[in-house]
Amino acid sequence: MLKTIVNALAAGIAAVFSGMAAVTKWGFQMARGIVRLPFDLLGGGQPIPAPYEPEVKQADILDEFLEARKRSAAVHTLDREGIDTVIQYCNTHREDRPRFVLPKTLDRDVLVALRTMDDAALRALATSGVSKIRKFIDGREHDIYGVPSLAKVKPQSLPKAPAGMTEHERIMWKVKARLEKAHEYEPFAIRKR
């Protein structure tokens, strides 16, 4: 019984303090409103903020994202050495290859080799690593099975003109030697294993 009386007394004291807190808070708000009333009537109150409207729309964000994706994709296709072009050519369908435009920056031997290679050799070239493709383009030993090795031949100097020629004969001899040298071009040899 004593326990129930103590509990009821504690609950009553808690209710009184809770009510005092609510009355104190209400009284403080009332006093604050009374003090602010003249200032609000004279225009000293804070203006009501305008509703937030974002400056960026969803379509703008999407356009910006797509533009950034194009820029980043363009960075990956800087094809200074022609590696990406060679890979693209090798992966192009057989019927579309004649219409594929190979850049003039590639060496003539590389262009001839690409145009004359069969599908298996092109597939082997496309699936090899970037370093091996770079070696193929540079005409170095690349160790790709079935792909021809384009060994670069160092240009040989022309033999000296025979003695006892006039200036005119010497110039004509040099021109003729250069023309004959140009026709001595040997096509690349496919290395067999």
- Residue 17 pLDDT more than 70? yes
Q: For residues 92 and 79, what is the distance between their CA atoms, to the nearest angstrom? A: 17
The answer to whether 117 and 148 are in contact (CB under 8 A) is: yes
In-domain check, residue 103 = yes
Residue 135, domain member (yes or no): yes
Domain total in the chain? 1
Q: CA torsion angle for 110, 113, 115, 117 (degrees, to 10)?
A: -140
Instruction: State residue 123's pLDDT score.
Output: 92
The answer to whether residue 43 sits within a structural domain is no
pLDDT at 154: 55
pLDDT at 163: 80
What's the mean pLDDT in 110-118? 88
**Residue 10 resides in a domain:** no
- pTM equals 0.43
Asked whether residue 15 is domain-assigned, the answer is no
Residue 34 within a domain: no
Task: Give the pLDDT score at 122.
Answer: 92
Domain limits for position 117: 67-155
The confidence score (pLDDT) of residue 26 equals 83
DSSP symbols for 125-141: HHHS-HHHHHHHHHTS-
Structural domain contains residue 36? no
Q: Is there a domain that residue 119 lies in?
A: yes
